[in-house]
Amino acid sequence: MVGAGKFKNRINTNNIYLSDALDYIPLTGSVRETDYNKFVETFQLAFPDGGVGIAIASRLLAMKRPDYFVCLDSQNRYKLCKDFGISTTITFEMYWGNIIARIIDSVWWSSPRPNTPIEEQAWNGRAAMIDAIFYEGLE
């Protein structure tokens, strides 16, 4: 939980790099790997001493673009990585290629936008919803 404390500190001190990093992710339209890489590069500037990983970054990304990003944390990592057939050790560099690129290449992600409001709401958060599918929770 060291990362959460460091993140809280950056929020409380209004660290400009967090906002700048999120600005690289467009609100609408396609998100490219280069957008993600610029996000990561700038996000890491907020934490020059390290200690913050993909869990916090992916949560921010999923909040901004739930159609593209899924939060990857200790509560879903094992099942998600097992079903994706990948190592549970996911770095910033691996997250796009091993998870996001595979999601956006899938048939269900590329499906047409639904016509009904409730289905459209789910469709708009289709990548982030993966978290709920693989979430293990605390016993």
- pLDDT the model gives residue 6: 79
For 53-73, the pLDDT digits (tens) are: 899 999 999 999 999 999 999
User: Does the pTM of the predicted model rise above 0.85?
Assistant: yes
For 79-119, the pLDDT digits (tens) are: 999 999 999 999 999 999 999 999 999 999 999 999 999 99
Q: Delimit the domains of the chain by residue range.
A: 2-134
Helix, strand, coil content of the chain in percent (nearest 5): 55, 0, 45
Q: Which residue has the tokens 């990948």?
A: 86
Query: Does residue 13 or residue 117 have the better pLDDT?
Result: 117
How much is the mean pLDDT over the chain?
Answer: 92
Query: Does the pLDDT of residue 2 top 90, yes or no?
Result: no
